[in-house]
């Protein structure tokens, strides 16, 4: 039997891999519903990134298919079973704090900086080259292989709804959209929305004219802005108190006064909602500061309930939703979207990642019992927990391959993130973030080590071939 030197095969393709990845990263593929059309269902950028990936497949001799410009696949091989790889080419919004242009890839100190470098364009191209090598070597396969790519993974999964409406999903597979050694468990994902339509009017010394914070349901808000009218109070004292608050809490921000109106911006730190402890929630901090002031009725309900029930509570203990599963771990809670005085009913959206034993209906009822002033409802699009046992032969192959190239023990793990792996009956997420590396997905100055991209491609090539040969 011929032994394939996968490291040598990847090494001979490094320049082309990096060129293709550079082309993909230069496409601003943030969801853009303001410019959506029949041609661009979730905006021009995500569709262009999808088309670019399919162009790579056509160039390299794969069979390709585009599903309504929001999803597509490349495939080769034949067999009774289909092995699947599921990735995405859309990215989260950029946000503040970038030191380079997020869509002009830059390599510094061995790190490739760009939005999407680690989530998920870098890992997608590593997995693609693993598959491309198998095809180019003409190795015999016993299964059909399908690499599916979506263009709306970060917000709603409309891409996979459309894909599954017309295509049969593979029998088993993985998503290169998380961490090594493996993610074989994913918590359920849900969001609940608080509003305060029934709070009686009550005059106060301060009026909350506007509050705006959060750019995505699955991101800890990195900055928050409020506009406050001071009817009866010392506006300069408020400004000084805010400056002391951000200094005491090691936060950023500024306050500007215009007559009796003060505009306050507080700067925290963005992070993925699956790990809210990694961020600093600017919105809850700002409400925590404002809760010391006597606001009008609905303003006070919005501010004070946020400070009381949502600030500095990553497990949802204050609203009674905390829960721990022995295998999947603890529930996490992250209030991420705040809108007040911007046209619609003021709302707060909190994103929850829950293990087995909890659920959407249970979460809503528990929150209602605690936040009694609020109207509570579940946001659409909730997903149940997903788990593929460590005894599954596919999981074992992935762990063994990881051990082969790293010398480190492969162990199972559950995360709060939601990957496409949960769309497989037998599915897991596999790479491409290596242990010990900083997780900068969804953050400013996102990057991935160049050597990790190549190493992931080696692992993917070997593991995929073992599962399809």
pLDDT in tens, 330-365: 999 999 999 999 878 899 999 999 999 999 999 999
- pLDDT, mean of residues 446-463: 98
Q: How confident is the model at residue 139 (pLDDT cuts 50, 70, 90)?
A: very high
Residue 407: what are its φ and ψ, rounded to 5°?
A: 75, 10
Return mean pLDDT, the chain.
Answer: 96
Element (H, E) at 250: none
Work out the burial of residue 165: count CB atoms within 10 Å of its CB; fewer than 13 is exposed, 13-18 middle, 19 or more buried.
Answer: exposed
Q: Among candidates 384, 381, 365, which has minimal Cα distance to 423?
A: 384
Asked whether residue 417 carries a pLDDT value surpassing 80, the answer given is: no
Which 8-state DSSP code applies to residue 201? P
* pLDDT value, residue 123: 98
Q: Among candidates 68, 63, 56, 60, which has minimal Cα distance to 27?
A: 56
Within 8 A by CB and 6+ apart from 419, the residues are: 86, 175, 177, 178, 183, 186, 429
Is residue 207 within 8 A of residue 295, CB to CB? The reply is yes
Q: 192 has which bridge partners?
A: 350, 378
Is residue 83 within 8 A of residue 466, CB to CB? The reply is no
Is residue 318 within 8 A of residue 310, CB to CB? The reply is yes
In this predicted model, which residue has the larger pLDDT, 201 or 128? 128
Is residue 333 within 8 A of residue 321, CB to CB? The reply is yes
Q: Which CATH architecture has domain 6-187+385-468?
A: 3-Layer(aba) Sandwich (3.40)
In this predicted model, which residue has the larger pLDDT, 290 or 198? 290
Q: Among candidates 230, 130, 197, which has minimal Cα distance to 373?
A: 197
pLDDT digits (tens, 9 = 90+) for 362-411: 999 999 999 999 999 999 989 899 999 999 999 999 999 999 999 999 99
Is residue 116 within 8 A of residue 105, CB to CB? The reply is no
| pTM, 2 dp | 0.74
In this predicted model, which residue has the larger pLDDT, 75 or 425? 75
* pLDDT value, residue 419: 86
Element (H, E) at 108: strand 106-108
Q: What is the CATH number of domain 189-378?
A: 3.30.70.360
* pLDDT value, residue 290: 98
- pLDDT, mean of residues 18-33: 98
* pLDDT value, residue 324: 97
Q: What distance in Å separates the CA atoms of residue 212 and residue 257, rounded to the nearest whole number? A: 18
Is residue 276 within 8 A of residue 214, CB to CB? The reply is no
- pLDDT, mean of residues 291-307: 96
pLDDT digits (tens, 9 = 90+) for 97-119: 999 999 999 999 999 999 999 99
Within 8 A by CB and 6+ apart from 257, the residues are: 235, 236, 239
Which 8-state DSSP code applies to residue 30? B
Is residue 87 within 8 A of residue 420, CB to CB? The reply is yes
Residues annotated catalytic, as ranges: 90, 153
CA 384 to chain centre: 17
Q: What distance in Å separates the CA atoms of residue 353 and residue 422, rounded to the nearest whole number? A: 14
Q: Where are the domains of the chain?
A: 6-187+385-468, 189-378
* pLDDT value, residue 155: 84
- pLDDT, mean of residues 312-327: 96
* pLDDT value, residue 288: 98
Is residue 417 within 8 A of residue 274, CB to CB? The reply is yes
- pLDDT, mean of residues 47-55: 98
Token code pair at residue 444: 């400013």
Is residue 465 within 8 A of residue 135, CB to CB? The reply is no
- pLDDT, mean of residues 208-232: 96
- pLDDT, mean of residues 55-71: 98
Asked whether residue 1 carries a pLDDT value surpassing 70, the answer given is: no
Residue with tokens 């295509």: 167
Give the percent of the chain with pLDDT over 70: 100
Asked whether residue 2 carries a pLDDT value surpassing 70, the answer given is: no
Is residue 300 within 8 A of residue 202, CB to CB? The reply is yes
């Amino acid at each position: 039997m011929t032994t394939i030197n996968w490291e040598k095969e990847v090494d001979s393709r490094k320049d082309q891999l990096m060129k293709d990845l550079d082309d993909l990263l230069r496409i601003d593929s943030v969801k853009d519903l303001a410019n959506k059309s029949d041609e661009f269902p979730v905006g021009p950028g995500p569709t262009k990134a999808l088309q670019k990936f399919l162009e790579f497949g056509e160039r390299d001799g794969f069979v390709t298919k585009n599903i309504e410009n929001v999803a597509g696949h490349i495939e080769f091989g034949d067999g009774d079973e289909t092995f699947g790889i599921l990735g995405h080419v859309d990215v989260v919004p950029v946000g503040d704090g970038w030191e380079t242009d997020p869509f002009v890839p830059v390599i510094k100190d061995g790190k490739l900086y760009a939005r999407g470098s680690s989530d998920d364009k870098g890992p997608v191209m590593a997995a693609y080259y693993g598959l491309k090598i198998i095809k180019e070597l003409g190795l015999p396969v016993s299964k059909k292989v399908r690499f599916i790519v979506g263009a709306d993974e970060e917000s709603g999964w409309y891409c996979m709804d459309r894909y599954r409406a017309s295509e049969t999903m593979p029998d088993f597979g993985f998503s290169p959209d998380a961490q090594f050694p493996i993610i074989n468990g994913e918590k359920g994902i849900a969001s609940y929305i608080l509003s305060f339509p029934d709070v009686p009017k009550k005059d106060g010394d301060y009026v909350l004219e506007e509050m705006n914070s959060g750019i995505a349901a699955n991101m800890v808000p990195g900055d928050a802005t409020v506009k406050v009218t001071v009817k009866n109070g010392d506006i300069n004292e408020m400004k000084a108190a805010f400056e002391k608050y951000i200094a005491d809490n090691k936060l950023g921000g500024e306050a500007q006064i215009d007559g009796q109106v003060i505009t306050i911006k507080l700067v925290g730190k963005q992070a993925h909602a699956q790990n809210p402890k990694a961020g600093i929630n600017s919105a809850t901090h700002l409400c925590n500061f404002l809760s010391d002031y006597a606001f009008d009725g609905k303003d006070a309900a919005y501010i004070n309930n946020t400070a009381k029930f949502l600030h500095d509570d990553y497990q949802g203990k204050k609203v009674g939703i905390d829960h721990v599963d022995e295998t999947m771990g603890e529930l996490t809670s992250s209030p991420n979207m705040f809108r007040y005085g911007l046209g619609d009913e003021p709302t707060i959206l909190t994103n929850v990642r829950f293990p087995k034993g909890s659920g959407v209906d249970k979460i809503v009822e528990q929150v209602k019992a605690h936040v009694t002033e609020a109207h509570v409802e579940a946001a659409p699009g909730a997903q149940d927990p997903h788990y593929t046992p460590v005894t599954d032969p596919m999981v074992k192959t992935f762990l063994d391959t990881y051990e082969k190239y790293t010398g480190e023990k492969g162990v199972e793990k559950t995360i709060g993130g939601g990957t496409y792996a949960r769309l497989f009956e037998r599915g897991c997420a596999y790479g491409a973030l290596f242990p010990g590396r900083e997780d900068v997905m969804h953050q400013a100055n996102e990057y991935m080590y160049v050597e990790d991209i190549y190493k992931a491609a080696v692992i993917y090539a070997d593991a995929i071939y073992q599962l399809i040969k």
